[in-house]
Amino acid sequence: MATTSTTGSTLLQPLSNAVQLPIDQVNFVACQLFALLAAVWFRTYLHPSKTSSFIRHVVATLLGLYLALFCFGWYALHILVQSGVSYAIMVIVGAENMHSPVMIITQKITSLAYEIHDGMFRKDEELRPSQRDLAVRRMPSLLEYLSYNCNFMGILAGPLCSYKDYITFIEGRSYHVAQAGADGKEKPHREPPEPSPNGAVVQKLLVCGLCLLVHLTVSDMLPVEYNIDAHFQATASWPTKVVYLYVSLMAARPKYYFAWTLADAINNAAGFGFRGYDRNGEARWDLVSNLRIQQIETSTSFKMFLDNWNIQTALWLKRVCYERATWSPTIQTFILSAIWHGVYPGYYVTFLTGGVMTLAARTMRNNLRHYFITSPQLKLLYDVITWMVTQIAVSYTAVPFVLLSIKPSLMFYSSWYYCPHIIGILVLLLLPAKKTQRAKNTHENMQLSQSKKFDDPESSWGQNSFSTTNNVCAQEPASRHSLLKQ
């Protein structure tokens, strides 16, 4: 019989027993499927053209709180308490003083704290383009704040979105596309046909079904824990250990693919997630997407893997830590990521190891890559080798994240004689460190800031400089706000 240990509803206990899955997992999936249906209803019957933003806020909030109560029972009070306390701090203490004390709570609260701080208490010339884009210029009302934090579309599995994007969606301004003429000037605005998310939703649900099938059939056959099995360690050859490490960690990913893709589909079904149109005129529904599976599995660098894995969390880490850190932003960002994930020692081992691996991979790339781009054959060889190295390095780094405890984590690393750690440290010590793009950008921004003092102050408003960022150290290829009229 499946476990009955839950603080949430036990209404689905018979189903839990039938499918032999824990009741909390059954509740989660059931609530997400309910949220998917509710999202379709929300987009159809509570469309911005049919009802007010107030009603949309209220319904989204109440449905979200109900789902939290169903899944977590009285534990759902934690969501209300942390949201209420944070809002009280904003109103009573002042937003200029509240961004630091709430760093210990949720992504949305800390993101909004910094967005308010950037919008109300910093000068525009002090902000990066992405910070200027997301800055909030007025204090949210309590209803707006609760709706942003507790809406039914993201209360169980996210993903994180910016406050401005959410309010734009609630108010029905997501589809207002700026029409540009041949001379580059904006044409008189005309209302375009509203794009349908149905195709994107169906595609993502098919991906969900496939990932769930793989998780239920394959994942249990390739447990990560077998990497530290005494018999396996004593008898398996090194090639076997390397191959099993890779396939066991690859088999552990579909459950994340399932949860994040389903959450993305729910948001899209409600009409949230529209990012504009691509060059072919096709609607893009990836504004709040949390992963890109194909890019993850074909990553040829540690950075490329991180760019496409848990994207919204990476954006959060970049916005609240990496861009604001005064020393060693990469290490600080990985430490914050470990703290945010929880108290298990395995999280800290993984993210500290990840910091070393990221710095070493960046150094290797800066020193070696230019030798391999002189011909297609060498470039292909480089891509094959870096794919193999990246997948093994990522798998090696992530094992403690799955094992959680410190003893099995160190047991695994010691079975590999800490070789990747040693190689990474040697790379950092022996190879010259080149100036990173972040440092170059910082230097250029300082020069630009100085030059603006002698420019017409209104000239900086004549161009659309909005852009978002895609990871802790990477810039997103295209700005959503260059496509969406604010």
User: Between helices 254-269 and 198-217, what is the axis angle to 10°?
Assistant: 160
pLDDT tens for each residue of 109-154: 889 989 999 999 889 888 998 899 999 999 999 999 999 988 999 8
What pLDDT, on the 0 to 100 scale, is given for residue 189?
52
What pLDDT, on the 0 to 100 scale, is given for residue 79?
72
Q: How many CB atoms lie within 10 A of CB 461?
A: 10
Of the chain, the percentage scoring pLDDT greater than 70 comes to 81
What pLDDT, on the 0 to 100 scale, is given for residue 3?
59
Of the chain, the percentage scoring pLDDT greater than 90 comes to 53
Q: Which band of pLDDT confidence, cut at 50, 70 and 90, is reported for residue 459? A: very low
Element (H, E) at 130: helix 129-134
pLDDT tens for each residue of 413-431: 999 999 999 999 999 999 9
Enumerate long-range contacts of 135-140, CB under 8 Å, 24 or more apart: 136/112, 136/163, 136/164, 139/90, 139/91, 139/95, 140/112, 140/116
Weakest mean pLDDT among 91-95, 113-117, 359-363, 446-450: 446-450
Statement: residue 486 has pLDDT above 90: no
Instruction: Using DSSP bridges, classify how beta strands 283-284 and 469-471 pair: parallel, antiparallel or unpaired.
Output: unpaired
Longest dimension (CA), the chain: 74
Q: CA–CA separation, 344 vs 153, rounded Å?
A: 28
> Any idea which residues carry the catalytic annotation?
310, 341
pLDDT tens for each residue of 207-249: 999 999 999 899 889 999 999 999 999 999 999 999 999 999 9
Q: Which band of pLDDT confidence, cut at 50, 70 and 90, is reported for residue 436? A: low
pLDDT (mean) for 144-169: 90
pLDDT (mean) for 286-305: 93
DSSP 8-class letter at 475: E
